[in-house]
Amino acid sequence: MTSSSQLVAYIRTMVKGEHAENDRIEARLDDQGWEGFSTLLGAVFYFAVNRRFPDGASPDEVIRFVSEMRLTTTGGPGTDATSAEELISAALDPSVDTDIDPHLAGRVQGLTILHILGAGTVSDEELDALLTEAAALASRI
């Protein structure tokens, strides 16, 4: 069974750019399983998006954000802009329906998390608080 703390550590090392440690945790998770990862990733995505847009965002603001993310995030140019815009809009407004392939959704969520929380944009304390809150939410889902 996968430990929630291992999943959190995986996301933390991903955000912090700690590649060797991230690879080590990934190998352990490959052996033990990734149970609960998609739920945790979705919760981190939700909190990251709402951190970036605390007062919500207009469709134009979301489009600009996705465009910037696709230009500046490794792997971003290959990301479907429409799917990214839908997922971000749904994180900001639960009434927005999405029907996006889960693999693509996970990719968009990961890139969005990296864009919002990566590259030193948040302190270790802020990141740890967000991850703790996301893990608590994921455990209730």
Q: What is the pLDDT of residues 29-38, one digit of tens each?
A: 999 999 999 9
Long-range contacts of 82-86 (CB under 8 A, 24+ apart): 83/108, 84/108, 84/111, 84/112, 85/59
What is the pLDDT of the chain when averaged over all its residues? Answer: 92
Nearest to 48 by CA among 141, 130, 132, 121: 130
1 pLDDT above the threshold of 60: no
**How does pLDDT run across 7-20, given as a tens digit for each residue?**
999 999 999 999 99
Nearest to 113 by CA among 68, 54, 49: 49
**How does pLDDT run across 106-122, given as a tens digit for each residue?**
999 999 999 999 978 89
